[in-house]
Structure 1
Amino acid sequence: MQPEANFLTRNQKDILKARHRHERNKRLCDRIKTILLLDKGWTYEAIADALILDEDTIRRYYKTYLEGGKEALLNLNYTGKACWLNQGQLEQLKIYVKEEVPSSAKQVVNIMKNS
């Protein structure tokens, strides 16, 4: 079911817009835009088309916002993998990156493989 337009308060809109202006993560920006556009009365289909996402994703973002607010919407729940380098390798990597300023991740991987 499509949400009613104008479900956000002025303050909620202002907070989301301010966060959008300062956010660098595209995925989080898309989540914020989804909520702001739903508040303007856009349909799930129109938002999905504009943001090049699927309608289920738009619905999920809205559900997440309804259930947990801004905090839940802006939580990506991503946890990185465990580090495969030992402490000595990490120190060596820090020195290398500081001195050489590598131009690609591949270059760093190759250096670490050869050390």
Structure 2
Amino acid sequence: MTENKFKLSTEEIASLRIEHRQAKKKRDADRIKAIVLLATGWTAMQVAEVLFMDDDTVRHYRARYETGGLKNLLKNNYKPKKSKLVKHEQETLLKHIDTEIYMTVRSIINYVRKKYHVIYSLSG
């Protein structure tokens, strides 16, 4: 499957490069980089590989840029979920994690399930 060509003018690319240099957050710089690379002929798969992200994420960035420009691309829509643990349980868990070595997130999830009878998934 070939990807649709994504084209930007030389001026748009130059403007994005300036925005990239001025970006204060790595997240914003990576999003801008993804758009510039796509506009210069890279595939989403290639961009994803060099930026260490999923190719669907790169395609999502492209769609956001196409629908709302730079402002939409850089908008942070993240909304944290409410914790399933109460405050003192969170504090106790943080102290425990500081003293124990866990090699995977899954092992922490299992600890929380056994200790607090609360189920988390890898994605939260």
Is the TM value for this pair above 0.5?
yes
Q: Tell me how far apart the structure 2 counterparts of residues 66 and 40 of structure 1 sit (CA, whole Å).
A: 15
> Paired residue for 2:21?
21
Instruction: Point out 4+ residue stretches in structure 1 off by more than 6 angstroms.
Output: none
Does 2:4 match 1:3? yes
Q: Tell me how far apart the structure 1 counterparts of residues 39 and 47 of structure 2 sit (CA, whole Å).
A: 11
Alignment RMSD (CA, Å) = 2.0
> Paired residue for 1:47?
47
1:77 CA displacement: 3.0
What amino acid maps onto 1:76 in structure 2?
N
1:52 CA displacement: 0.2
Aligned length: 80
Conserved? CA contact 1:44–1:55, under 8 Å: yes
What amino acid maps onto 1:68 in structure 2?
G
1:40 CA displacement: 1.0
1:12 CA displacement: 1.1
Q: Tell me how far apart the structure 2 counterparts of residues 79 and 17 of structure 1 sit (CA, whole Å).
A: 29
> Paired residue for 2:86?
none
Question: What percentage of residue pairs aligned between the two structures are identical?
Answer: 38
Secondary structure in structure 1 of the residue aligned to 2:24: coil
> Paired residue for 1:58?
58
What amino acid maps onto 2:74 in structure 1?
L
Q: Tell me how far apart the structure 2 counterparts of residues 74 and 67 of structure 1 sit (CA, whole Å).
A: 12
Q: Tell me how far apart the structure 1 counterparts of residues 49 and 20 of structure 2 sit (CA, whole Å).
A: 20
Task: Give the structure, 1 or 2, with the largest relative contact order (CA under 8 Å, sep 6 or more).
Answer: 1
Specify every segment of 5 or more residues in structure 2 that has no aligned partner in the other structure, as ranges: 81-124
Specify every segment of 5 or more residues in structure 1 that has no aligned partner in the other structure, as ranges: 81-115
Q: Render the CA deviation track for 1:56-105: whole Å, top value 9, x for unaligned.
A: 1001000001111111012123578xxxxxxxxxxxxxxxxxxxxxxxxx
